[in-house]
Amino acid sequence: MKIAKIEPYVIVHKLDTPFYFSQWQYDTRKICIVKVILEDGTYGWGEGYGPAGVIKAGIEFFTPFLLGRDALGHEVLWQEMYRRSLDYARSGSLQAAVSAIDVALWDIKGKLLDQPVSVLLGGVKNPVIEPYATGLYFTRVDNLEELLVEEALLYKSQGFKATKMKVGLGIKEDIKYVAAIRKAIGPEMRLMIDSNHAYSYKEALELSRKVEKYDISWFEEPVSPEDYDGYRRLRENTTIPIAGGECEYLKFGFKRLFENDCVDIAQPDICATGGLTEAKRIATLAQAYNKDVIPHSWGTWIAISAAVHFVGNLDKNPGRMYNDLPTMELDRTENALRDEVTKSEIVVKNGLLNVPNTPGLGVDVDIDALEKYREIDEAKIEFRL
């Protein structure tokens, strides 16, 4: 089955409530999705994570090399894109463009073979997933602590067994909010913190030691993604597991993380790090280094569905008779691009979701909503979330 057309779209939505974290403030969500169409009309959807206009340009760069090619040979096409970008884009947004196309090709493959992507990845080892709620961003209000507590309690009432909050505003302020949320949700709900690489090693170590008593399940992106030594030293000097990797690309980036013993938990973003094809390789590499894999996921139901199928196929680490349910990120912040443009059969009930058994990713796009949110003028400065 040959590829006839590749159509990237940038979709954008102005938020009702702007939010911020340690690096930037956002009042807009902007995402690049792509539709790959075969000669017989079969199509698949993919998504890239990062600056949407740049990713769209990357998809347009790769398109001439893929038209007329066999869509089932997704590893052949992946290698073509990798080699075409190797000299000048070993990491970054061109790899997110590769990822978007690759995810769409897996969606197509599932539809052509009448199988869910998780089965094509090797089988459903984890039919039930316990996602954690990502939220608890900052807003510019006088009663921020009260609002954060209310949000955390909402997630608990919805059945989530874990939630992740932002830190990185300063150690004293971070401790205040962590303490308030832990007190509100109680000891039975897991709590993770994410500084989006806001701290130096010494600052991250001080924060870690001061919040250890709040039973933190992991500290995500504590230091700069360039500071491999800082990651390693922090991991050696705190009892809190260290997580990172959303800024890494391809198996080579994760090899650096693992060789330097930087993390306990690797967090590849499937829509940035090379798609499902490369994420599968990263998972194998992580297992060889005895690291857990919990993918980063931020976007529409296309990205979320890719992560669900990926986690559904992950090996137990280590294997035993009674394992905890695997987890993955589920963004709960305002996102009309997720909720209106994309449609999925995945339902989160009592804090659990089932890996779908429909062909492909089990996701589709509402074309009317796509046109509603489609951006025409993309010549704007964009920042990575």
> What are the pLDDT digits (tens) for 204-239?
999 999 999 999 999 999 999 999 999 999 999 999
In-domain check, residue 192: yes
Higher pLDDT, 318 or 374: 374
Q: Which amino acid is at 20?
A: Y
Q: Tell me, what CATH number does 71's domain have? A: 3.30.390.10
In-domain check, residue 382: no
350, 293: one domain: yes
- List pLDDT tens digits, range 94-126: 999 999 999 999 999 999 999 999 999 999 999
202, 330: one domain: yes
108, 233: one domain: no
Count of residues making up the chain: 385
> What is the spatial order of strands in the sheet that 329-331 belongs to?
292-293, 265-266, 242-244, 216-220, 190-194, 162-166, 132-134, 329-331
Q: Counting beta carbons within 10 angstroms of the beta carbon of residue 315, is it exposed (0 to 12), middle (13 to 18) or buried (19 or more)? A: middle
> CB neighbours of 157 closer than 8 A, spacing ≥ 6?
none
**Percentage of residues in the chain having pLDDT higher than 70:** 98
In-domain check, residue 91: yes
Q: Are 93 and 292 in contact (CB under 8 A)?
A: no
Q: Counting beta carbons within 10 angstroms of the beta carbon of residue 370, is it exposed (0 to 12), middle (13 to 18) or buried (19 or more)? A: middle
Q: Are 292 and 264 in contact (CB under 8 A)?
A: yes
Q: At what angle do helices 144-157 and 171-185 cross, to 10 degrees?
A: 40
89, 124: one domain: no
Q: Tell me, what CATH number does 232's domain have? A: 3.20.20.120
DSSP per-residue string spanning 43-96: EEEEEE-S-HHHHHHHHHHHHHHHTTSBTT-HHHHHHHHHHHHTTT-SSSHHHH
Report the chain's mean pLDDT, rounded to a whole number. Answer: 96
pLDDT band of residue 384 (cuts 50, 70, 90) is very low
21, 99: one domain: yes
In-domain check, residue 186: yes
183, 332: one domain: yes
Structure tokens at 385: 């979330």
pLDDT band of residue 381 (cuts 50, 70, 90) is very low
257, 220: one domain: yes
Calpha distance 62→107 (Å, rounded): 18
What is the number of domains present in the chain? Answer: 2
In-domain check, residue 379: no
Q: 84-93, 176-185, 325-334 — which is least confidently predicted?
A: 84-93
Domain span including residue 24: 3-114+367-373
**Percentage of residues in the chain having pLDDT higher than 90:** 93
133, 241: one domain: yes
327, 208: one domain: yes
In-domain check, residue 270: yes
- List pLDDT tens digits, range 288-325: 999 999 999 999 999 999 999 999 999 988 888 888 99
Calpha distance 339→342 (Å, rounded): 6
pTM above 0.85, yes or no: yes
The candidate with the shortest Cα–Cα distance to 11, out of 379, 297, 378, 327, is: 378
62, 130: one domain: no
- Point out the residues that are catalytic: 296
Q: How far is CA 284 from the centre of its chain?
A: 18
Q: Where on the phi/psi map is residue 145: left (φ > 0), alpha (ψ -120 to 50), or beta? A: alpha
pLDDT band of residue 383 (cuts 50, 70, 90) is very low
In-domain check, residue 88: yes
What is the reported pLDDT for 320? 85
What is the reported pLDDT for 377? 58
126, 87: one domain: no
In-domain check, residue 380: no
64, 189: one domain: no
- List pLDDT tens digits, range 340-373: 999 998 999 999 999 999 999 999 999 999 999 9
